C-alpha cells in the first residue's frame, strides 16, 4: 500500500474498531447486584484495598460487617521451626529410588527426618477475621425495594431499601490512598441505631479443625466513647497482635455510650472511618497516631470515594471485555445463577462477562503487600479450610495468572514482595533437605516464613523441586510483557540465579542413558496408578521447571551480555535433561519413566506445566509433544471437582487450542454451584470459600482470546464459536506488545484488531483456524497460510482486519 492508501485504510479501520461501542453503555459502571441480604458470610458483598477488606451482609435492620486484614494469621508457634537436616541421608534415598523401591525411599526419608528431630507435618498459621461490626437499626414496617450492589470500578458497596419512614442507604468502600474503611448511613428520616465491635466470630463448620478448636488469642481489649470505638487483640504465643480505631462522625443528632455499644439518636447521616493496624509488637500501640490521621481526613464520603475510585478505577479499566450481552446484564446474582442452572448447555455471555469483571475486581481488591491467599482477602470464620493460607503447588499461581496479561502491575508487585519476604527460607530448605545451595520452596506458607515443614509419611511435599521456578515465573512473565529492565536486574535476576544454582547442585545422578536422574521428585499431589506413594523420580513438572529456569536465565544473560563464562555450563545442563515421555495411550506422561503408570483422574495437572504456565510445548516448535499433551488433557478427569483444577485445565486447554475444553470448563464452573450470591467462589460446589476460580477466571478468558510468546501473537486461539461475537481491549502480550483492541464476529467471519508495541520488533500474527484475507495499515509478509510477519516500531499501532475462512 502507498501512504495515501495506508491513511485511508487506517481511517476506515478506526471506524470499524469503534464498532461495538454502542453495545456497551459507557456511562454505566461494571458491577453486580443482589436482591436479598446475606444469611451467611460467604454471600456477603466484598470490598478491599489489598490490605484491609470487608464483608457486608446487607441486612437493613441487623447489619453485620466482618473486617479482615491481610496479615491476620493466628500464630501457632510453628512458623520458625526449620526442616530436619537430612541431606546426609540423600545417597541412600537415591539408591533406593534407583532400585525402584519408591515406598522404601520415602519411608526411610521420613524416618530419618524424625530421627533428626522433625516433629511431623506442621500446619501453617490460620488466616482469620479481625473483628465484626454490628449495626442494629430498627425499621418501620417491612423493608421494600431492597437492593444491594457492588460497583467494580469504584469498589463501593451500596445497600438500599425503603420502609414506612422513607428511603435508606448504607454505603461502604475501602480506600487505597487513605488506608481506611469508609461507611455511610443516610436516609429520609432521622437515624436511630446502635453500633458495636466484637471479636466473636463463628468457627467454620465445613472443616475439621486440626488444632481441636483451641484458640491462641488473648481476651480482646476495647473501648467505646461517643465518637470512637477501639478494638485490640493480642496473640498468646508471640508478641504480635492487631488493633483498630473507628471514628464516628454525625450530621445532626447525638451519640452516647450504652454498655459496649454506641447508641446514635436522631442523626441525619452517619460516617464511620476505620483503620486496622497490624502490630509486630502489641505493646507498641499505634492507636493515637491512627486517631490523629483519621481526624485529619475530610469527613466527606463523596470526596473520600472520589480519591479512591480514581486509583482503583484506573487499574480496573485497563482491560475491558464486552460480549455484547446488553439485554442480559441487568440480572441480579441470584438470577444469573438460576438462569445458568436452568440453561445448562450453553454459557450465559452476560454472566461470563460479569464474572470476568468480578474476578478482576476481587484480584485488584485483594492484592496488597501479599498476593491473594486461598480466600483472597475475605474470611468470616476462624480456622478456615487449609488454614486459608498460601498453597504454593497450584493455588497462588492460578490466582495471579491474569496479573501480567491483564495489565495489573500492582499484582506482580504484591507477588514479588511476598516472594522476597519468604525466599531466604528457601536457602535453608535447600541446605537442610538436600545439602544444596540456591532455592527450594516449601508448599505452604502464611506469608511470613516458608520453612519446608509440611510433609509426612503420606505427603512427600519435601520432594517437590519445581516450586521456586513455578513461583518466580509470573515475575519473569512480567518482564516479558513490560521490558522493565530495572525490575529484571535488581529484583528478578538474583533470584533466577539461585533457582538454577539449586539444580546445579542437585542434579548429580544419571540414568543409564547419561541423562539426569531426578530423585527424589514429586508431582503435586498425584501418585502413579501402580504405586502406593507419591514419592517418585523424574516428575515431568520438576524436569520442565528445571529446564525453564536454565533457559530463561540464559536468555536474560544474553540480553544483558553478562555471565558469558557460565552460559556454556548451563547449556550443557540442558543437553543432559531427560526427555519427556509419551505413554501407550499417546498421552504426555506425568512421570518421565516407563515403570510409573499415569493416574488420569486427578484435580492437579502439574505434568502439563510446559504447556501452561510454561511456553515450551506448542504446535510450531514441538508438534509431537503438543499432540501428546492434548491427549493427556482429554483423558484427565475432574476427580473431586476442585475449582482450582477446573481453572487450571481451562488455562491448559487455551494453550492447547482446545476451545471445547475451555468452554466446557467455564460452563461447568458457572452452572454447578461454585458461585455464591456474592459472586465469590467456592472450592467444592457450595462448600469452602476459595478465590482460586474467581481470580483465575479472567486469565482463562484472556488466554482463550489472546495467546503470546516472544515474537508471536495468536488471536482467538481457543474461543468457541458458541461465543459468537465480542470485544476485549488492553491485553498484554509476552512480546512487549499490547492488544489494544480485538473484536470478533464468527457469523460475519470477521476479526478486527489494533496492536501496539513497546519496542522495534518483528511479530508473527496468527489466526490458526484460517485467514482468507488480511488487511493491515503497515506492510506484512505472509509466513504461513494462517500467519503473517509484521515489522513494527516502538509506539506504533498495527491496525488489521482479518476475513476468516
**pLDDT for the residue 212:** 72
Alpha helices, DSSP H, located in 99-227: 102-115
- 101 contacts: CB under 8 Å, gap ≥ 6: none
Cβ pair 180, 246 in contact under 8 A: no
Q: What is the pLDDT of residues 459-494, one digit of tens each?
A: 999 999 999 999 999 999 999 999 999 999 999 999
How far apart, in whole angstroms, are the C-alpha atoms of residue 57 and residue 676?
A: 13
Q: 3-state SS of 381-434?
A: CECCHHHHCEECCCHHHHHCCCCCCCCCHHHHHHHHHHHHHHHHHHHHHHHHHH
The whole model's pTM is what? 0.95
Percent with pLDDT over 90 in the chain: 93
**pLDDT for the residue 159:** 98
Nearest C-alpha neighbor of 373 from the set 103, 713, 70: 70
**pLDDT for the residue 1:** 37
Cβ pair 736, 481 in contact under 8 A: yes
Is the pLDDT at 23 greater than 60, yes or no? no
Is the pLDDT at 133 greater than 50, yes or no? yes
**pLDDT for the residue 648:** 98
User: Counting runs of H as helices and runs of E as strands, what totals does the chain give?
Assistant: 18, 30
SS3 204: coil
Q: What is the pLDDT of residues 382-394, one digit of tens each?
A: 889 999 999 999 9
The residues pairing with 725 across neighbouring beta strands, listed in sequence order, are 745
Is the pLDDT at 5 greater than 50, yes or no? no
Cβ pair 365, 53 in contact under 8 A: yes
- Which secondary structure element, helix H or strand E, spans residue 15, and what is its range? helix 3-18
Helical pair 301-316 and 349-365, crossing angle rounded to 10 deg: 110
**pLDDT for the residue 204:** 62
Q: What is the pLDDT of residues 727-745, one digit of tens each?
A: 999 999 999 999 999 999 9
Q: Average pLDDT for residues 45-49, to the nearest whole number?
A: 98
Helical pair 349-365 and 692-705, crossing angle rounded to 10 deg: 120
Say which DSSP state 153 is in.
Answer: T
Query: What length is written for the chain?
Result: 805
- HSE at residue 83, side-chain half, CA atoms within 13 A, is 30
Is the pLDDT at 8 greater than 70, yes or no? no
**pLDDT for the residue 386:** 94
The mean-pLDDT minimum among 65-74, 114-123, 321-330, 758-767 falls in 321-330
SS3 2: coil
- Which secondary structure element, helix H or strand E, spans residue 223, and what is its range? strand 221-224
Confidence of residue 213 (pLDDT cuts 50, 70, 90): confident
- Please give the C-alpha separations between residue 499 and each of 390, 449, 473, 549, 569, in angstroms, as whole numbers: 20, 18, 11, 7, 15
Q: What DSSP string describes 107-162?
A: HHHHHHHHHTT--S--PPPPB---EEEEEE---SSS-EEEEEEEETTTTEEEEEEE
- Which secondary structure element, helix H or strand E, spans residue 310, and what is its range? helix 301-316
**pLDDT for the residue 28:** 72
Q: What is the pLDDT of residues 488-535, one digit of tens each?
A: 999 999 999 999 999 999 999 999 999 999 999 999 999 999 999 999
Is the pLDDT at 211 greater than 90, yes or no? no
Percent with pLDDT over 70 in the chain: 96
Confidence of residue 426 (pLDDT cuts 50, 70, 90): very high
Q: Average pLDDT for residues 176-198, to the nearest whole number?
A: 97
Compute how many other C-beta atoms are within 10 angstroms of the C-beta atom of residue 310: 12
Nearest C-alpha neighbor of 47 from the set 378, 519, 360: 378
- 362 contacts: CB under 8 Å, gap ≥ 6: 46, 372, 376, 680, 691, 694, 695
**pLDDT for the residue 516:** 98
Q: What is the pLDDT of residues 646-696, one digit of tens each?
A: 999 999 999 999 999 999 999 999 999 999 999 999 999 999 999 999 999
Q: What is the pLDDT of residues 272-293, one digit of tens each?
A: 999 999 999 999 999 999 999 9
Is the pLDDT at 228 greater than 80, yes or no? yes
Confidence of residue 29 (pLDDT cuts 50, 70, 90): confident
Confidence of residue 720 (pLDDT cuts 50, 70, 90): very high
Mean pLDDT of the chain: 94
Is the pLDDT at 117 greater than 50, yes or no? yes
Nearest C-alpha neighbor of 439 from the set 367, 371, 523, 498: 498
Amino acid at each position: 500500500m502507498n501512504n495515501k492508501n495506508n491513511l485511508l485504510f487506517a481511517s476506515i479501520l478506526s471506524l470499524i474498531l469503534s464498532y461495538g461501542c454502542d453495545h456497551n453503555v459507557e456511562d454505566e459502571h461494571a458491577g453486580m447486584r443482589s436482591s436479598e441480604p446475606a444469611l451467611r458470610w460467604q454471600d456477603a458483598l466484598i470490598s478491599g484495598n489489598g490490605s484491609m477488606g470487608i464483608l457486608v451482609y446487607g441486612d437493613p435492620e441487623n447489619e453485620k460487617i466482618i473486617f479482615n486484614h491481610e496479615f491476620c494469621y493466628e500464630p501457632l508457634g510453628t512458623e520458625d521451626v526449620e526442616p530436619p537436616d537430612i541431606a546426609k541421608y540423600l545417597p541412600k534415598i537415591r539408591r533406593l529410588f534407583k532400585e525402584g523401591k519408591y515406598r522404601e525411599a520415602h519411608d526411610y526419608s521420613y524416618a530419618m527426618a524424625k530421627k533428626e528431630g522433625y516433629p511431623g507435618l506442621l500446619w501453617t498459621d490460620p488466616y482469620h477475621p479481625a473483628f465484626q461490626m454490628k449495626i442494629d437499626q430498627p425499621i418501620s414496617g417491612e423493608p421494600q425495594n431492597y437492593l444491594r450492589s457492588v460497583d467494580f470500578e469504584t469498589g463501593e458497596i451500596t445497600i438500599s431499601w425503603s420502609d414506612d419512614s422513607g428511603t435508606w442507604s448504607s454505603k461502604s468502600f475501602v480506600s487505597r490512598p487513605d488506608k481506611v474503611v469508609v461507611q455511610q448511613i443516610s436516609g429520609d428520616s432521622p437515624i436511630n441505631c446502635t453500633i458495636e465491635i466484637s471479636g466473636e466470630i463463628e468457627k467454620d463448620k465445613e472443616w475439621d479443625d486440626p488444632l481441636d478448636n483451641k484458640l491462641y488469642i488473648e481476651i480482646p481489649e476495647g473501648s467505646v466513647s461517643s465518637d470512637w470505638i477501639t478494638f485490640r487483640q493480642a496473640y498468646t504465643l508471640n508478641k504480635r497482635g492487631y488493633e483498630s480505631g473507628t471514628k464516628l462522625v454525625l450530621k445532626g443528632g447525638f451519640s452516647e455510650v450504652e454498655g459496649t455499644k454506641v447508641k446514635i439518636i436522631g442523626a441525619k447521616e452517619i460516617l464511620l472511618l476505620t483503620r486496622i493496624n497490624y502490630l509486630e509488637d502489641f505493646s507498641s500501640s499505634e492507636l493515637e497516631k491512627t486517631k490523629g490521621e483519621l481526624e485529619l481526613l475530610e469527613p466527606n464520603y463523596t470526596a473520600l470515594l472520589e480519591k479512591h475510585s480514581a486509583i482503583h478505577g484506573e487499574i480496573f479499566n485497563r482491560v475491558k471485555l464486552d460480549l455484547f450481552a446488553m439485554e442480559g446484564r441487568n440480572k441480579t446474582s441470584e438470577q444469573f445463577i438460576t438462569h445458568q442452572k436452568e440453561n445448562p448447555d450453553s454459557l450465559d455471555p452476560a454472566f461470563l462477562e460479569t464474572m470476568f469483571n468480578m474476578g478482576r475486581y476481587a484480584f485488584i481488591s485483594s492484592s496488597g503487600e501479599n498476593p491473594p491467599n486461598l480466600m483472597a482477602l475475605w474470611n468470616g470464620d476462624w480456622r478456615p479450610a487449609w488454614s486459608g493460607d498460601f498453597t504454593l503447588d497450584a493455588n497462588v499461581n492460578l490466582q495471579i495468572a491474569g496479573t501480567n496479561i491483564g495489565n495489573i502491575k500492582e499484582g506482580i508487585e504484591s507477588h514479588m514482595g511476598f516472594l522476597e519476604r519468604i525466599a531466604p527460607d528457601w536457602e535453608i530448605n535447600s541446605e537442610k533437605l538436600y545439602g544444596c545451595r540456591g532455592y527450594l520452596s516449601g508448599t505452604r506458607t502464611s506469608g511470613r516464613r516458608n520453612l519446608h515443614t509440611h510433609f509426612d509419611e503420606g505427603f512427600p511435599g519435601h520432594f517437590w523441586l519445581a516450586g521456586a521456578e513455578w513461583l518466580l515465573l509470573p515475575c519473569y512473565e512480567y518482564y516479558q510483557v513490560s521490558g522493565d529492565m530495572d525490575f529484571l536486574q535488581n529484583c528478578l535476576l538474583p533470584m533466577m540465579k539461585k533457582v538454577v544454582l539449586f539444580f546445579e547442585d542437585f542434579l548429580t545422578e544419571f540414568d543409564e542413558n547419561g541423562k539426569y536422574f531426578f530423585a527424589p521428585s514429586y508431582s503435586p499431589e498425584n501418585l502413579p496408578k501402580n504405586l502406593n506413594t507419591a514419592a517418585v523420580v523424574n516428575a515431568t513438572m520438576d524436569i520442565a521447571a528445571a529446564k525453564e529456569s536454565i533457559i530463561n536465565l540464559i536468555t536474560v544473560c544474553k540480553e544483558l551480555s553478562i555471565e558469558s563464562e557460565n552460559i556454556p555450563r548451563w547449556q550443557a545442563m540442558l543437553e543432559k535433561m531427560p526427555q519427556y515421555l509419551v505413554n501407550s495411550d499417546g498421552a504426555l506422561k506425568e512421570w518421565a519413566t516407563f515403570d510409573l503408570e499415569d493416574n488420569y483422574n486427578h484435580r492437579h495437572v502439574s505434568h502439563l506445566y510446559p504447556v501452561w504456565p510454561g511456553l515450551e510445548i506448542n504446535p510450531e516448535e514441538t508438534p509431537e509433544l503438543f499432540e501428546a499433551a492434548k491427549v493427556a488433557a482429554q483423558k484427565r478427569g475432574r476427580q473431586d471437582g476442585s475449582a482450582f483444577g477446573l481453572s487450571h485445565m481451562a488455562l491448559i486447554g487455551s494453550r492447547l487450542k482446545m476451545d471445547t475444553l475451555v468452554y466446557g470448563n467455564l460452563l461447568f464452573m458457572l452452572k454447578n454451584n461454585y458461585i455464591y450470591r456474592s459472586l465469590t467462589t467456592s472450592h467444592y460446589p457450595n462448600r469452602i470459600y476459595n478465590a482460586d476460580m474467581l481470580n483465575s477466571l479472567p486469565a482463562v478468558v484472556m488466554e482463550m482470546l489472546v495467546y503470546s510468546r516472544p515474537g508471536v501473537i495468536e488471536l482467538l486461539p481457543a474461543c468457541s464459536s458458541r461465543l459468537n461475537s465480542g470485544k476485549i481491549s488492553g491485553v498484554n502480550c509476552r512480546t512487549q506488545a499490547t492488544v489494544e483492541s480485538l473484536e470478533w464476529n464468527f457469523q460475519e467471519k470477521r476479526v478486527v484488531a489494533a496492536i501496539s508495541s513497546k519496542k522495534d520488533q518483528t511479530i508473527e500474527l496468527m489466526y490458526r483456524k484460517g485467514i482468507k484475507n488480511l488487511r493491515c495499515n503497515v506492510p506484512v509478509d505472509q509466513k504461513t497460510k494462517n500467519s503473517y510477519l509484521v515489522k513494527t516500531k516502538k509506539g506504533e499501532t498495527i491496525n488489521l482486519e482479518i476475513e476468516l475462512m
